[in-house]
Amino acid sequence: MEEKEKLRQEGLRLLKEMPQTDKLQIEHRLAEHLFASFVWKDAKSIGLTMALPHEWDTTKLIQQAWLEKKRICVPLTIENRAMQFYHIESYNQLTNGAFSIKEPIADRCEPASKDTIDLIIVPGLLFDMSGYRIGYGGGYYDRYLTDYQNKTLSLAGRQQIKQSLPVGPLDLPVDHLLTDDGFLF
């Protein structure tokens, strides 16, 4: 098996087998650190993916963002493994999409151009100390981020952090890595 594929399975197992109480505690700490940070405070428009049950919940981030009058954008997967983000103001603008991930309903929302998103919260299974990540293997974020100019951040439990990971020529590191212990960078 390819090395990345092995690591994907390790990361996925780690998340799926985490006790619910541990998961909630980590999510609480991630949110606390995030909301107190300048990365969050400086972002008026935030792009994020609706989490699957084993992933770090993003609805708490959406609620807080809306409370602080920030705009939220959510990606829709389109042809050629590309994504288009759309602004959402309500969960009514979402439906179950590819991979059972909630996606925006294009004709109920305004598209968000790449340069208007100040911060993208990039999902992943494992991360390393340089910000490289192992995702689900679709390369969606690697593609999207090639010409994205603003900030990226990933949320990770400390068990998702490795010293280093195999990196391909098209992999891009995130700018900030936040764990339950705080910002690694």
Binding site for Mg ion (CB under 5 A): 142, 171
In angstroms, what CA-CA distances link 58 with 4, 81, 155, 171? Answer: 25, 22, 10, 23
98 near ligand ADP (CB under 6 A): no
Looking only at residues 165 through 184 of this chain, which bind ligand ADP when binding is defined by CB under 6 A?
168, 170-171
Among 146, 149, 163, 164, binds ligand ADP (CB under 6 A): 146
Which entry of Mg ion, ligand ADP, none binds 164, CB below 5 to 8 A by partner kind?
A: none
Minimum distance from CB of 148 to ligand ADP (Å)?
11
Give the residue at shortest CB distance from ligand ADP. Answer: 139
Q: List the end-to-end C-alpha distance of the chain, in Å, as a whole number.
A: 32
Q: Read off the amino acid at residue 29.
A: R
Cβ-count burial 98-135 (b if 16+ within 10 Å, e if not) = eeebbbbeeeebeebebeebbbbbbbbbbbbeebbbbb
Structure tokens at 76: 């829709």
Residues that bind ligand ADP (CB under 6 A): 4, 134-139, 142-143, 146, 168, 170-171
